[in-house]
Structure 1
Amino acid sequence: MTPADLIERWADLALARHSMSGMDRRRLEAQAPVDVFACVFWPRGRSGLLVEGDGHVADLAERVPRCRGVRVVLEEHGGSSQPERTKLAIVLEEERLREIFAVLSADLVNAIVTEPSSAVALRRCIDRLCMWRGLFDRIAPEGLSEERQRGLFGELIVLDHLFLVAGNLLDGVAAWIGSDSAHQDFRRGGLAIEVKTSLAKRHTKIMISNEKQLDERLHDTLVLASIRLDESEPHGLSLPDLVAQLRLRLAGDEPATRLFDERLLLANYLDVHAPLYEVRRYRVTSTQWFRVEGQFPRLTEVNLPAGVGDIHYSIIADDLGAWEMDEETVHDMAGGGA
């Protein structure tokens, strides 16, 4: 099931309107352990999903999340002489979020169709909605900012060149944790890597967003990667191009592909926004690696004055030569060396 499939079904249901109230619905994925329908809810013509399963699922009602622009309604029917049924309606309330809602809905359908039972499928649906609650709060309908596009591009370059070159692909994708609110972008064993991406120019500034990003005390080794991009290259690579290349690389490993797509979601990357990102094409002009230790110029909790917090500062990449590492050494640390 794809977002485009659902948008098409909602459009068909809206055109074939049968009632002034209630809903029109069309079954999806007949082999699922629950009944799943694409719906249009009347009289306002709201698009949505209906998920129905047998029985009562303990503690489900307490876990139903509130999502911005989406209404989630849980109903339970039956009992005594009639079989119990649990119904979960997920309804779009803000039309400007339609494309993102289609991604959410397709993700829910794909997540529950392979579950072994109705109860497990319903719990899985609530789990995914809880994950999406945070995403709906963060993801803008217009997609990623230019700065965040560059930042994600740089992270994917490091993932591609450092963690997917050898060994288990799933382990390589699992090393990418920056999208999961970690202070660094990658972690494998005792190695942590923070990636900073900028447009190529002299005296490149590396922007640091908090006092924990360059604090090496929780790691055996902390490496700062500085990726410089040229955006003027007409034949460069767009962010969607790079995402497609990585999906092709992972295509033979379903768990790795699934985890990669989940990490993209956590990084606020949605395929429906891909056309917005195609206009910017990048070429990597240089990649530098710096070991963060000793007198490396940085602010951490150790050297911050009392009462100072929520800091943002910059360091100059060209002044970090004393801490520069060669790429082969970093590859060996990451487990990707020959």
Structure 2
Amino acid sequence: MVTMMNNPWTELNYLNKIRVKESIKYNAFWIRDALNKYGLLIQCDENFILPKREIKLKGIEVKLDNTSTPNQLILLLKESKDWEIFLVLCNDLINVMKQNEKEIIVKVMKRLVRWQKLLQRTTLNLLSKEEQMGLFSELKILKDYLIPRYGYSRSINSWVGALGDKQDFLLENLAIEIKSYRITSGNSVWISSKEQLNSEKNPLYLVACAINEIYKGETIVDLVNSITGAIDDNNLLEEFMEKVELYGYIPEIQKDSLSKFSMEQINVFEVREEFPKIHYDHVSPLITNLKYRIDLSGCSQFKVKVDEILI
């Protein structure tokens, strides 16, 4: 999952600890407890503010002790084989302490809440090449076309594919479904559900993105950083990052394993009634899942210009 990482617990015996090397305001230690579990210990004079709901991290035990001096936050890993993802989490908390001087404890607890959500909804596996291409295409359309036309708030609000909607983008007057394909593999795209090309919102457009993997291309993290760097609203930033993470992209884990792509071509098709698709009324309601492929080389009569649909 995470490559070339040094395990800070390997040289520790049980009930031992060593100080975290990074320069931070509070004491932080790599530890092994009495049961030989890997852990992170953070000490400070301030109280660790308990969230409204108990923090439960899958595979990780969280202990808060505000009765001692100094106060302590202890994270313990239940299975040592999962040390890599645990180290990513610990380093994320350490970076929060290193980069902030005020309200450090509040920020650390917020990061724990974020990790709780991440560990609940994803297996934290690396994104496949196809998954990267799909997310790359949606981010590229968002960044290069929707945001310049509609602004950050409206565009990010309209990005609903990660939330389980039928199409990837839903605006007031149109719906957009994004599909990516390798430019070297032919001009065809996979439709992965009966809902994707059937929308209650009209018009519906299929945006087909021809992707090439090249050394000098962009990664998902390049696009994410470009968008987040221009967002000055914390709530909007949180909404955007939550949607990105719902696709399975977690920057702390995957930034070193991402492919570089270039968008070679974008073709937009209006999905009218006669467009080659499987209609709802052609499918039994008992069929809950289907997948089919469309050869776009025969769909020229449905092509429109991307600038014409964003009105």
Matched positions, count: 300
Distance 1:55 1:71 in 2: 18
Residue 249 of structure 2: SS of its match in structure 1?
coil
RMSD: 4.1
- Matching residue of 1:336: none
TM-score, structure 2 as length reference? 0.74
After superposition, the C-alpha distances for 1:5-60 in whole angstroms (9 at most, x for unaligned) are xx78x73x765x5x632655659864xxxx78453233636144658874885863
- Per-residue CA deviations over 1:214-254 (Å, capped at 9, x if unaligned) read 2211x2432211011234xx5541425xx325524542434
SS in 1 for 2:257: helix
Paired residue for 1:180? 163
The answer for the alignment partner of 2:225 in structure 1 is 247
- Normalised to the residue count of structure 1, the TM-score between the two structures is 0.69
CA contact (8 A) 2:209 2:267 kept: yes
* Alignment match, 2:217: 237
Give the secondary structure class of the aligned counterpart of 2:206. strand
Match of 1:149, SS state, is helix
Question: 2:288 matched to 1:309?
Answer: yes
* Post-superposition CA distance 1:274-326 (Å, at most 9, x none): 34334xx4333321112223233333544321421221222222233333221
Change in CA separation of 1:285 and 1:124 when aligned onto 2, cut-off 3 Å: closer
Counterpart residue number, 1:42? 33
| Alignment equivalent of 2:257, drawn from 276, 283, 286 | 276
What's the CA shift for 1:195? 0.9
1:28-67 to structure 2, matched below 5 A, reads 30=25, 37=28, 39-42=30-33, 44=36, 46-48=38-40, 50=42, 54=47, 57=50, 60-61=53-54, 64-67=55-58
| CA shift digits 1:151-185 (9 cap, x unpaired) | 12211221122123245334433433333343322
Contact 2:19 2:27 in 1 (8 A): no
Deviations 1:178-218 (A, max 9, x none): 3334332223334332111001257533211122222211x
Alignment correspondent of 1:71 = 60
Q: Deviations over 1:71-98 (max 9, x none)?
A: 23345675xxx99x89563536354561
**Contact residue 38 and residue 76 of structure 2 kept, 8 A:** no
Provide the secondary structure at the position in 2 that maps to 1:288: strand
Residues of 2 paired with 1:193 and 1:259: CA distance? 20
Whole-Å Cα distance in 2 between the matches of residues 36 and 297 of structure 1?
Answer: 63
Percent pairwise identity: 17
Correspondence for 1:322: 301
Residue 139 (structure 1) aligned to one of 97, 121, 124: 124
CA distance, structure 2, for counterparts of residue 178 and residue 222 of structure 1: 14
8 Å CA contact retained: 2:40, 2:74: no
With over 3 angstroms needed to count, the CA separation of the structure-2 counterparts of 1:110 and 1:184, relative to structure 1, is farther
Q: Distance in 1 between matches of 2:140 and 2:267?
A: 13
Is 1:266 matched with 2:246?
Answer: yes
Q: Which runs of 5+ in 2 are unaligned?
A: none
CA distance in 1, matches of 2:24, 2:108: 15
CA pair 301-22 structure 1, distance change in 2 beyond 3 A: farther
Secondary structure, in 3 states, of the residue corresponding to 2:210?
Answer: strand
Output the CA distance in 2 between the equivalents of 1:277 and 1:227.
18
Cα offset, 1:267, TM superposition: 2.3
State how far apart, in whole Å, the 1-side matches of 2:72 and 2:153 are.
35
